[in-house]
Amino acid sequence: MNYPNGKKVYTNHHVTNKQPQDQFSNRGMTLEKDIDETNRYYLNRGRCVVHKKPTPVQIVKVDYPKRSAAVIKEAYFKQASTTDYNGLYKGKYLDFEAKETRNKGSFPLSNFHAHQIEHMEHVVKHEGICFVIIRFQAYNESYMFPAVKLFPYWHRQFKDGRKSIPYDVIKSEGAIIPSGYPALVDYLSVIDQLFF
């Protein structure tokens, strides 16, 4: 069992010589869950209103094996989704995407779709706050990378440029996001530094 502070509790009181692991070391692909938890915390504290956008799906076929249960057998995406999250903070519109990678040296641009970049460009054009949260699992680090810094890398890849953004670039041009409890991905503290 793990308590919210990340400390492991052994119910059999067996003591080992093994060193306790860092509280964020075994997260796996959990960035969106961590952001959802952080957003609930922010909302409960009245700091901002940010929600995950639902993916638009058209249900085509449903089976009803029993009266109280329905099983979706066939469904299709109605349209291409844009970014993962949007909302309001200090009177400004927020729009951002959350991505994770197991790569150590770079973040592959193939994680994005053209319609997502186009959407982010529209948000920036209308003076919204737009960014990507990128988590490098190997380092247990999450970075805020402003969309305006992402765009040149995205467009350059189609002109014989790199198809990824080097880790060192994200580290130097982005900003590391503090992690802790209860704000697992405290992105508002970075927004305050970069945009206000």
In a domain, 182, yes or no: yes
Residue-wise over 56-84: b if at least 16 C-beta within 10 A, else e?
eeeeeeeeeeeeeeeeeeeeeeeeebbbb
Q: What is the pTM assigned to this prediction?
A: 0.76
Is residue 97 part of an annotated ligand binding site?
yes
Q: Is 17 within a domain?
A: no
Q: How many domains does the chain have?
A: 1
DSSP letter (8 states) at residue 55? P
Closest CA to 32 of 93, 80, 96: 96
Task: Determine whether the annotation assigns residue 21 to a binding site.
Answer: no
In a domain, residue 15? The reply is no
Specify if 14 maps to a domain.
no
Does residue 50 lie in a domain region? yes
Between 140 and 2, the more confident residue is 140
pLDDT at 1 > cutoff 70 = no
Question: Residue 105 belongs to what domain range?
Answer: 31-195
- Identify whether 176 is part of a domain: yes
101 labelled binding-site residue: no
Query: Pick from 125, 108, 119, 122: which is nearest to 81 by CA?
Result: 119
Residue 77 is part of a domain; what is its CATH number? 3.40.1350.10
Q: List, for residues 33-80, the tens digit of each pLDDT value.
A: 999 999 999 999 999 999 998 766 667 778 887 777 888 777 666 556
Position 6 in a domain = no
pLDDT in tens, 125-176: 999 999 999 999 999 999 999 999 999 999 999 998 899 999 999 999 999 9
83 is in an annotated binding site: no
